[in-house]
Amino acid sequence: MELPARLRQGVDILLEKVPLPTLKQAAKTLSERYRAELRDGRLHMGEDVAVKAYLATRLPATYAAIRASLEALSEARPDFQPTSLLDIGAGPGTMLWATIDAWPKLERAVLVEASAAVRKAGQSLAEGALAARADWIAGDATVDLDGIEPADLVSAAYVLDEIAPASLAKLIHRLWRLTADTLLLVEPGTPAGWQRILAARQQLIGAGAHVLAPCPHEAPCPLTPPDWCHFARRVARSRLHRLVKEAEVPWEDEKFMYLAASRQPAPARGERVIAPPKGGSGKVVLKLCRPDGSAGDRLFSKRDGDVFKVARRADWGDTLD
């Protein structure tokens, strides 16, 4: 997956005069803070150079994870056509770009972001490039959501991992209160990210939400540690991306986890592939999460006829109808 052309062009313009050594150092610092899940009161992207390092190295992967999550949401609810978006911890507008790519008729968006440097970059990227009206609000996700109007789609991507655990339940409550139709959460595809999604899932189901994706059920998650549920999306690296990360391979795999929960009942959902398929001569093994709340491997062979043909084409994250 690649960034939309207009977004890529905007990023290139913002980065064209930044020295490569500066980007490398900023990218290293940013990566260390994310991996350590530091919650020391400092913004990960509080400075302009950190924002540009993010644009060079993390934006493509974050966009890919968000876009894949929106695809799953759209498949689960084909009738869902949001006209309004509320994105909490919006960064440089990644969710806005991905949402408009999925639903071009989006009319308005409210983007809440604490970092002035990030807001400035996001406004610069969106100006003249997107048709939807975008209002940027300076605010902290945990304290500054009063007075905001509900939206069809409410989202928080790569945000819960920056929130103190004691504040997560209160934030989920606020996000659900602002959700007119559907709430989307996206987190890193780590065991810790999965646990945050599980906690939000349990809280939202208790509040009356219907799970749309990725789970085909609302029963307790059938997986137990050290196993965990997550997905991956392959991301193309630009030349600058490879230089900044000193990487030789022209792609990377972004692992992520997500949850789409709605006020509308979920349609019937098929089994979801929750691990990379294991293929062989005339057979394929898929690890499936099932509508009955169970999960496990299933062997498909040529003797299964058309079912085998469907299974052979299935990829990690797909549903089997």
| 177: pLDDT strictly greater than 50 | yes
| 267: pLDDT strictly greater than 80 | yes
Cα–Cα distance, 195 to 204 (Å, whole number): 14
Domain end, chosen from 224, 243, 262, is at 262
- Residues 195, 275, single domain; the answer is no
Q: Are 145 and 75 in contact (CB under 8 A)?
A: no
- Residues 22, 168, single domain; the answer is yes
Q: Looking at residues 276-297, what average pLDDT do you find?
A: 94
- Residues 90, 212, single domain; the answer is yes
- Residues 236, 305, single domain; the answer is no
Q: What is the CATH number for 114?
A: 3.40.50.150
Contacts of 296 (CB under 8 A, 6+ apart): 287, 288, 290
**How many structural domains compose the chain?**
2
Rg (CA), the chain: 20
Cα–Cα distance, 66 to 256 (Å, whole number): 9
- Residues 229, 305, single domain; the answer is no
CA 119, 258, 262, 171 torsion: positive or negative? negative
- Residues 256, 277, single domain; the answer is no
What are the tens digits of pLDDT across the range 228-239?
999 999 988 877
Q: What integer pLDDT is reported at residue 42 of this predicted model?
A: 47
pTM above 0.75, yes or no: yes
Share of the chain above pLDDT 70, in %: 94
The boundaries of the domain holding residue 290 are 271-320
Mean pLDDT rounded to a whole number for the chain: 90
- Residues 91, 222, single domain; the answer is yes
- Residues 258, 275, single domain; the answer is no
**Token pair for residue 172?**
């989920």
- Residues 312, 176, single domain; the answer is no
DSSP assignment letter at 302? G
Whether cis (ω within 30° of 0) applies to the bond prior to 78 is no
- Residues 158, 178, single domain; the answer is yes
Residue where the block lists tokens 């975008």: 134
What are the tens digits of pLDDT across the range 37-82?
554 444 445 467 778 888 888 899 999 999 999 999 999 999 999 9
- Residues 254, 115, single domain; the answer is yes
Query: Among candidates 98, 178, 158, which has minimal Cα distance to 132?
Result: 98
- Residues 135, 284, single domain; the answer is no
